[in-house]
Structure 1
């Protein structure tokens, strides 16, 4: 039975971290260790964690200066003694069957390097909804197997708090890129390196819960865009992928961000990203059509 090392990085998340820890301790799968990495918190994180650290053989607590998500997760990976590693962010939580279901999926196929699953989204008011739909058998093919292309070309999303990875795969391809600390998207970059060589397996159940927070780093859109630009530059160069592929995916990325900005009423930022989409891939006619639609919309608002 595989031992799971659960890596939980936390930075100034004392309000929520106890809920994340509780969800790990309530797992039905018992062969695990929980490695909590306090990444230089200055809030009440120590006090929030204190009740869990007394006489609990499952938990190891590491404190360090602030290194960001990538650095904190890498500290946890270095400390891990398990055969597989699972990640949970300090403001998320898991359903009790999460580890057991994913270990079983991994043990059924030794060629699988990464297991992921569906996820619930919930907000600060605790309202819960499924973040992604349950998939049909045909759709599942895009989430399991050799799915590098699907992640690279943004056909699927893999949420970090749903992921379990064989430790041997990380030993092979390397850990999180700490150069990305100032940007984010270090999880996407690592998953792409793993999926270049290894199969994925998708558990078609929502076994994790992702918290949507208004003050989350995930709301820093400009930072996220910079991170994703870095990912595609690095991965395209690392594996010698065609520049046409990079242009296509960058155009798609900017169009997605344009829609996000428009939906939030940030019309100038939306137009900026729509223009970036055209510059990234001038032969993508969808980018021109989208720009035309948005221009008409903005003109109608102004008249």
Structure 2
């Protein structure tokens, strides 16, 4: 076990036996070697732990914790409670880091004490690990991180953020009552403090996997969770959040339209786009991705086919 790790990598793992080895190899291959990896086996039934144990046996920087299934936030929180480093890196049990991921982000946090969260651009990979053309730049739609996060999760997915451990003490853990959007809620609470900057690294430093088991989303459930997150943000900072809520809801409906489209429900997608238009139609001429979603929903059969081909018939959705 490393005496004083620079960063603790938290890996929640639930039934990811087919992917977890590649995930852990990507951490072991980091140019920065002063890490600890805490894998939280969240009640897996597929033998995930059996793949993790050899890493722990060969390298004391790898630690396996096991607990009954409690969901993603529960596993993340459990791992963070056992973390020893001043910085926390999140890595889902089916995603991978590029070799410079940790070194680049730790360097930013070391040099800039007012940065609380650092993240990078990222790329989607297929179920078998092959890259796709789909990427996330991480560029916020507004300069204020609180307002930007209300509209779009510019960090992008759960394997991208590296943050200071002290932020958990300041704003609290991941909300285990949320079934989705728990990462957005966490970032929003950090942004609401007004004391911490979010720093984007433009290089692609991590890859997030799109797989069939990960696409069985419940759009109605996601809508409820996201609405809860927006309502909580409005309660924390009413004067700041209230003016931008129509725009935030427009972006939410736009995102739900994209999810509906990828699940094959074109009618539901059109309904969400109508609601986005009613909430704040300006997003469609201010944000090219919103306009692209509008066009994609209008051309639903063709756009679904193009997206499917890029992922070997596995429809894409942002995690």
Query: Shorter-normalised TM-score: what interval?
Result: 0.7 to 0.9
| Per-residue deviation, residues 151-189 of structure 1 (Å, max 9, x unmatched) | 222283432211100011221111101111xx2110111
Gaps of 5+ in 2: 286-290, 301-319
- Partner SS for 1:247: helix
- Partner SS for 1:67: coil
| Among candidates 178, 185, 195, match of residue 181 of structure 2 | 185
Please tell me whether the aligned partners of residues 5 and 84 of structure 2 are also in contact (alpha carbons under 8 angstroms): no
Distance of 2:68 and 2:49 partners within structure 1: 14
Q: Shift of the alpha carbon at 1:209?
A: 0.9
- Distance verdict in 2 for CA 1:146–1:57, change over 3 Å: farther
1:116 aligned residue: 119
| Among candidates 155, 172, 175, match of residue 174 of structure 1 | 172
Q: Tell me which structure has the larger Cα radius of gyration.
A: 1
Q: Shift of the alpha carbon at 1:109?
A: 0.7
TM-score by length of structure 1 reads: 0.84
Deviates more, 1:31-40 or 1:267-276: 267-276
Gaps of 5+ in 1: 299-303
- Distance verdict in 2 for CA 1:104–1:185, change over 3 Å: same
Pair 1:3 & 2:6 matched: yes
- Distance verdict in 2 for CA 1:130–1:106, change over 3 Å: farther
Q: Shift of the alpha carbon at 1:221?
A: 3.1
Distance of 2:166 and 2:298 partners within structure 1: 53
Pair 1:235 & 2:233 matched: yes
Please tell me whether the aligned partners of residues 143 and 202 of structure 1 are also in contact (alpha carbons under 8 angstroms): no
Please tell me whether the aligned partners of residues 144 and 202 of structure 1 are also in contact (alpha carbons under 8 angstroms): no
Q: Shift of the alpha carbon at 1:219?
A: 3.7
1:152 aligned residue: 150
Deviates more, 1:79-88 or 1:247-256: 247-256
Instruction: Give matches, 1:46-195, under 5 Å.
Output: 46-129=49-132, 131-132=134-135, 142=140, 147-154=145-152, 156-180=154-178, 183-195=179-191
- Distance verdict in 2 for CA 1:193–1:217, change over 3 Å: farther
- Distance verdict in 2 for CA 1:229–1:22, change over 3 Å: same
Please tell me whether the aligned partners of residues 145 and 201 of structure 1 are also in contact (alpha carbons under 8 angstroms): no
| Per-residue deviation, residues 52-92 of structure 1 (Å, max 9, x unmatched) | 12142101211111110001000011001101000100000
2:306 aligned residue: none
Please tell me whether the aligned partners of residues 119 and 160 of structure 2 are also in contact (alpha carbons under 8 angstroms): yes
Q: Shift of the alpha carbon at 1:228?
A: 1.4
| Per-residue deviation, residues 127-156 of structure 1 (Å, max 9, x unmatched) | 313543668xxxx6x489852222222283
Q: Shift of the alpha carbon at 1:40?
A: 0.7
| Per-residue deviation, residues 185-220 of structure 1 (Å, max 9, x unmatched) | 101110111122310111111111110112105744
Please tell me whether the aligned partners of residues 121 and 131 of structure 1 are also in contact (alpha carbons under 8 angstroms): yes
Q: Shift of the alpha carbon at 1:237?
A: 1.3
- Partner SS for 1:245: helix
Number of matched residues? Answer: 287
Q: Shift of the alpha carbon at 1:222?
A: 3.1
TM-score by length of structure 2 reads: 0.80
Pair 1:22 & 2:18 matched: no
- Distance verdict in 2 for CA 1:161–1:44, change over 3 Å: same
- Distance verdict in 2 for CA 1:204–1:274, change over 3 Å: closer
